[in-house]
Structure 1
Amino acid sequence: MKVLAGDIGGTNSRLALVAVDASGACALSALRSFRNADFPSFEAVLDAYGGAHLAGLPVALAVAGPVGDGRVQLTNRGWDICAATLQARYRCSALRLFNDFEAAVYGVDTLCDDGVRVLQRGAANAAGLRLLVGAGTGFGVAFGAVHDDGTVQACSTEGGHIAFAPRNAVQDELLAFMRARHGRVSVERLLSGAGIEALHAFCRERHDQRPGPAPDAAGVVAAARAGDSAAAAAVALFVELLGQVTGDLALATGARGGVHVAGGIAPQLGELLDAATFCTAFADKGRFAAWMAALPVSLVKDPWLGLKGAALALRREMQACERGEGGG
């Protein structure tokens, strides 16, 4: 089965042809990545990729936002994407939209050893719930429930918009700092590109640094690598918060099937993502600390996870239709 698959985030759109074999293995070709800021609409991205050649192909798109009735408005990009409109315009044989983290859950089984970095070793329960989180333009959360036959049912959430809960005095200060800016403070306000910028502003204030030009998230990470104290503190705090919130979500869902951390930011941190900092915050759950420390946690390094997951989600849906079970 060959699918045109896309992973459409707030910042970038990735597209490729994906050949899925009977075992679920994915072979990618014609891979391209686009900066969304360079395009007025998603249709313009598809045209740049070669929309005229999509006729007759099934298309699966993983999109950064809640999908309903075959359409989505991207949470962090003002694009309204409608499956029916795109299918009619490009004459695709089928076109389906999936939440990006829902799709990524299906992609987890395609990961090989060099596609992950182990943050915490543990024994996964094959029948247990799987958790996937990731920070990028926003903060995504999804989980996968395993059926008796071993197949996975992915469920998307808007867990990135839960409230931030401080766990120490520094984080109490951070909450007050962020509340002055936003009122209610969600975890996405901190665990995102904009979140790294906000953490840097907070750390500059705490380090009594003079106000100056505010770097973007990539600039903060570069400054941290160059030894800037406020930038290094901001990245360390981001890693701590990422571990803390991921742990909260793993505890809330009972993620015995394992935890995967994806998204556009964490894999780019490299050596700045200190596993000990992450795992200490992840497991700091009082009476459940030992239980948390036994969960396997991995960092996803494969940038094509969501794209492959979208292709597999469409294949799963089409197979269900062939069996007369309906989609989803």
Structure 2
Amino acid sequence: MSNIIAYSDSLFNFDWIYENNQENRTSYFIAGDLGGTKCLLAVFKKEGNRIERIQEQKYASNDFAGINDIISDFIQLLKVKPTQLVLGIAGPIINQSVQMTNLNWEFSATSLKETFGFDEVHLLNDLEAAAYGLAALKEEDLVPLQLVKGDKVPGNMAILAPGTGLGMAGLYWNGSAYHPFSTEGGHALYSPSQTFDQHFWSLLQEKYGLVSWEHVLQGNGIFEMYKFLLQISKDKPDPAFHEKVMASDDPTPIISEAGVWKTDKLASITMQYYCMNLFACLTNVALQFKATGGVFLGGGIPPKILPVLSQMALSQPFLRHPNMDQLLQKIPVWVIRNEETALNGAAVYASWVKK
């Protein structure tokens, strides 16, 4: 995977007008992708319209008391002095401050700037960062799930990213270029339309009260679906496999891997139902954003379950709605295989933002 990002190589037309406002000199900055499970920080060198990643470090978020400790550790490893910091963060950014969704961390751009002496600090929602990261993708980073016949229709784009949580962002098409924006659509209320889904919703409602799409499609949602099917399905898991699942601190990878490779029947059924809910959520997103420019599946889960997604996409329409099929057939769908899209997006933003 290349460490060089050049704007001229972008698959999508972003508005790089701010680039002309920056001096054509060498500078260094830190970009980061901070989630509930892990934090990835990297230092980049910027020269002209190219940025190069020169050093990076991955951290387990729960091993630290806060973001300051992680940044302090990273800075001590560096041989260069970065002047700017841009973080993509799993949580809503309000006035450049954040209370993280899946970690009890709260901080602001101002506090980070004062603590570490950066010239500039910018906070982005992690999916907003991923949206900027589309500018850094290569063709090999994308796997098509729904291709469009004929000419592609220009228009808005959207990203849905199931992982530790469920992120969502959009890219507004102004007629000539894309402009990313963040949303908290992953926390929109789950809308079951089939009797099976309604029963699953009832199970989740007992646990969570209000049930969101994140409860269904985040990693733990796979385990919740497995437990639900265990109650109602005639198919039972292999006893040894089930014991392994229930004994694990993180059963989701065990279930999803067995479902992908069909080594356990109940795990396989679990992943099929999970993907059906994912299809339904993607249809909602495609319609809400009128995303004729395309819908992207990011996050940690889709690349790992790609065989199931691809197989199901061959046997049924990926996006479907009885009144909107004509529109939905014009919307391409891709899986993003590059796990560092949000990190690269934060770097793209850092090199693009007007001083």
Tell me how far apart the structure 1 counterparts of residues 317 and 144 of structure 2 sit (CA, whole Å): 16
8 Å contact from structure 2 (residues 28, 81) kept in 1: no
TM-superposed CA distance for 1:124, in Å, is 3.7
Q: Counterpart of 2:94 in 1: which secondary structure? A: coil
Q: Which amino acid in structure 2 is aligned with residue 159 of structure 1?
A: G
1:39 maps to 2:64:
yes
Q: Which amino acid in structure 1 is aligned with residue 252 of structure 2?
A: A
1:291 maps to 2:327:
yes
Which stretch has the larger CA shift, 195-204 or 266-275?
A: 266-275
Q: Which amino acid in structure 2 is aligned with residue 217 of structure 1?
A: T
TM-superposed CA distance for 1:56, in Å, is 4.5
Aligned to 2:219: 193
Tell me how far apart the structure 1 counterparts of residues 328 and 315 of structure 2 sit (CA, whole Å): 9
Q: Which amino acid in structure 2 is aligned with residue 171 of structure 1?
A: D
8 Å contact from structure 1 (residues 223, 231) kept in 2: yes
TM-superposed CA distance for 1:154, in Å, is 1.3
Aligned to 1:147: 174
Aligned to 1:263: 299
Deviations 1:183-216 (A, max 9, x none): 2211000110121111111121122548852642
1:312 maps to 2:348:
yes
8 Å contact from structure 1 (residues 242, 278) kept in 2: no
Tell me how far apart the structure 1 counterparts of residues 320 and 35 of structure 2 sit (CA, whole Å): 31
Tell me how far apart the structure 2 counterparts of residues 144 and 205 of structure 1 sit (CA, whole Å): 41
1:218-233 to structure 2, matched below 5 A, reads 218-224=253-259, 225=261, 227-233=263-269
Which stretch has the larger CA shift, 80-89 or 138-147?
A: 80-89
8 Å contact from structure 1 (residues 2, 17) kept in 2: yes
1:149-298 to structure 2, matched below 5 A, reads 150-207=176-233, 209=236, 213=246, 215=248, 216-224=251-259, 225=261, 227-277=263-313, 280=316, 282-298=318-334
Q: Which amino acid in structure 2 is aligned with residue 111 of structure 1?
A: L
Q: 2:157 aligns with which of 130, 139, 145?
A: 130
Tell me how far apart the structure 2 counterparts of residues 239 and 245 of structure 1 sit (CA, whole Å): 10
Structure 1 residues 226 and 258 mapped into 2: Cα distance closer, same or farther (>3 Å)? Answer: closer
TM-superposed CA distance for 1:281, in Å, is 6.1
Which stretch has the larger CA shift, 114-123 or 274-283?
A: 274-283
Structure 1 residues 56 and 270 mapped into 2: Cα distance closer, same or farther (>3 Å)? Answer: closer
Task: Give the root-mean-square deviation of aligned CA atoms.
Answer: 2.3
Which stretch has the larger CA shift, 37-46 or 259-268?
A: 37-46
8 Å contact from structure 2 (residues 219, 301) kept in 1: yes
Q: Counterpart of 1:144 in 2: which secondary structure? A: strand
Q: Counterpart of 1:283 in 2: which secondary structure? A: coil
TM-superposed CA distance for 1:51, in Å, is 4.7
Q: Structure 1 regions of 5+ residues with no counterpart?
A: 322-328
TM-score normalised by the chain length of structure 2:
0.82
Tell me how far apart the structure 2 counterparts of residues 140 and 278 of structure 1 sit (CA, whole Å): 26
Which stretch has the larger CA shift, 79-88 or 219-228?
A: 219-228
Structure 1 residues 56 and 37 mapped into 2: Cα distance closer, same or farther (>3 Å)? Answer: closer
Tell me how far apart the structure 2 counterparts of residues 281 and 173 of structure 1 sit (CA, whole Å): 24
Q: Which amino acid in structure 2 is aligned with residue 287 of structure 1?
A: N
Tell me how far apart the structure 1 counterparts of residues 333 and 311 of structure 2 sit (CA, whole Å): 10
Q: Counterpart of 1:185 in 2: which secondary structure? A: coil
Aligned to 1:325: none
TM-superposed CA distance for 1:116, in Å, is 1.1
Tell me how far apart the structure 1 counterparts of residues 168 and 75 of structure 2 sit (CA, whole Å): 31
Structure 1 residues 248 and 280 mapped into 2: Cα distance closer, same or farther (>3 Å)? Answer: farther
Q: Structure 2 regions of 5+ residues with no counterpart?
A: 1-26
Tell me how far apart the structure 1 counterparts of residues 325 and 193 of structure 2 sit (CA, whole Å): 14
Q: Counterpart of 2:131 in 1: which secondary structure? A: helix
Tell me how far apart the structure 1 counterparts of residues 315 and 332 of structure 2 sit (CA, whole Å): 10
Q: Counterpart of 2:323 in 1: which secondary structure? A: helix
Q: Counterpart of 1:273 in 2: which secondary structure? A: helix
Tell me how far apart the structure 2 counterparts of residues 61 and 250 of structure 1 sit (CA, whole Å): 27
8 Å contact from structure 2 (residues 146, 318) kept in 1: no
Sequence identity (%) = 24
**In the comparison of the two structures, how many residue pairs are matched?**
316
Q: Which amino acid in structure 2 is aligned with residue 221 of structure 1?
A: S
Which stretch has the larger CA shift, 297-306 or 174-183?
A: 174-183
Tell me how far apart the structure 1 counterparts of residues 327 and 349 of structure 2 sit (CA, whole Å): 31
Tell me how far apart the structure 1 counterparts of residues 123 and 169 of structure 2 sit (CA, whole Å): 16
